[in-house]
Structure 1
């Protein structure tokens, strides 16, 4: 827009407004109708773009509209919203959303993603450390595009696990929320060991062969199906199982077990199936000659408990013939430390 330079009117000088000059006998400016209407339409366009219905008697609508549109200029609002209990977030509540599920299972639904909402950011962060399930879900048919290596369309919801767990999401205006950051991006299904018996935040569960509902953990079920380690429930060992075959599945059971790297065609531990159990092996020696034999007094030095062997006779040296007729021992379990095993669930 500009001054009405091209619009003939009384009192305009080079298209600019002037005051009346009684001494000189020149009139003041009269605003041309076409220009006045144009200015009004310019202002109403801003107000309407902010989703505000124009009202003649309200004089701060332009300011309100400018503030709202400025907030949309950056995908991330500076607003902080606290949520306790299940509900749908409003479009004006996006920013940092602090959610507590301390009293009950909680579901928080994100606003619809469409061309009108545009590109928006939200950070959802869990504040409580209870065992209650906290679900963040997309509205309607929208999707959250995480773990797209398993499902190209992503999933309709995810879970926040543990106090401090957070996800940063960005909408694309076309029905999708895209993760751009999260508290713990460790790969789904990875096994880790902790120096704490508590579960760390970020999406971890105990490595205990627990049963899962497929509807509640669809990405984990997809991972199990595509892992190459999905087995029948009766033969699940350390792999995934198909559970009841309809609604459930199980994670690997690894408690109390030693982990061995899968052979994968090296032919040292051939014919092994991923996740399968293997019984212990009695080892007389590992040098291809005489067995590694120790006296009772040497057991403690190599980390073995001598108590079970009290009263038995063990020889420090032996001939090959004696190897078959004497009670020599071979160690199958070295000294070790037990750490809690954890499984990345999301």
Structure 2
């Protein structure tokens, strides 16, 4: 029987294995150098703009003074969170933020899926590409342009729709200053602006379906609706589930520019959300610490919703995001 390794033999074996392991690592990196080169910009972006700024969450636990910086500011613990949660306006912010996102989830989220299925059924390629180009274009318009178009369509004074209503003998409607219309307007703007862009992922998922499955369905006598129900939708179900989970992570986040441009004193009670609260208090009034506390609260809510949704989805037998 061979004697056990001595300490000297162990050190020699480790020193011999280390260079070999290092060479294997470098060979693997060299073999996948083009893939790593593609990953590098994304890695640098997330490192610089997502992870490094996380150091700033310390401001939420301080009375932050820009002149003394984080290291010289007074620590106050959870004072700003207590101030946020005990503010009489907190309930309004929470209600508006969640309900706006809920309306987007119920009415906006399914529209790109429906449009993708419809585009996939178009048999004339030129007509399909034309429609895709038309529905993509609104995504590239800024929210300033979208808000201006909404004003020229719906305002009482110059709105085309109100002028048409008056010409037909009806009374004009204050779409932009009536609180009951505000959430619906935001949802309709999102549908018009982002539906086309949202179809890109779903069309890519549909393109991956094996055409032989459709051919077999035709042989079995399945019509177009049955093919959609039994082949197309099940094929894109994993994509739908993943995007739904990720969408839930933004339930505490509302498009700041859109809301800020559409809000006015008459609709503030239904328009004020966490993002506008951060802008008015954190930036305009210089309360940087309370603004950071709101941002941290939104991040925690999003994380909890993503983890909960992912756990529920996996229990239902679907694949989650991890």
More strand by share: 1
What range describes the TM-score normalised by the shorter chain of this pair? under 0.3
- TM-score, with length taken from structure 1: 0.17
> Between Structure 1 and Structure 2, whose CA radius of gyration is higher?
1
More helix by share: 2
Point out which structure has higher relative CO (alpha carbons under 8 A, 6+ apart): 2
